[in-house]
Amino acid sequence: MSLDSDSAAKVELLKHVPLFEGCSDAELSDIADVAAPHSFPAGKELIAEGDHEHREFFVIVKGNVDIIRGGQKVNELSDGDFFGEIQLLADTPRLASVVTTSDVTALVVTEDSFRHVITTVPTIAVKMVYPLAEMVAYYARQA
C-alpha cells in the first residue's frame, strides 16, 4: 500500500489521534490530503527540544522513535503513535527532542498546510477544542 495515493489508509491512521477524535471521515480526509508520507533513517533527529521554528505534526506509520527531554529518554513511540500536535496550534517551543531509533515512515503535516485546512473547513478547529483542552490539562499535571 502506498500512502502517497491512499487517502483511506491515511484517514485510518488519523482516526487514532485524540486531537481529531471528533472529526468525521470527510474532515479526516481533508487532513489526510495535506499529510505527506516521509521516510527517515535511524538516528535522525526529527524534533529538537526548545526549537521554535520547525512546526510539524508526525504520525508514525512504521518504526520507532525516542522522546528525549533534558538529555534523558522519557518515552518511546512506535507504529500508530504521534507527536508534535501541540505545535500545530500553539506558538510554543518544542517540549522534547524526538530521535528515530530505526528507519521510520511517518505522515507529516506542516503548520502552514494544517492552518489552511482549518480555515477552509472550520468545523475541524471547533471539534479540536475539547481534545486540545484535555491535552493542555494533561501536560499541566505533568509539569
What are 85-135's pLDDT values in tens digits?
877 777 788 889 999 999 999 999 999 999 999 999 999 989 988 888 887
What are 18-73's pLDDT values in tens digits?
889 899 999 999 999 999 999 999 999 999 998 888 789 999 999 999 999 999 99
Sign of CA dihedral 41, 101, 34, 114: negative
Residue 3, pLDDT score: 61
Residue type, 123: T
Q: What pTM does this model have? A: 0.85
Instruction: Identify the DSSP state of 12.
Output: H
Indicate the CATH number for domain 7-142. 2.60.120.10
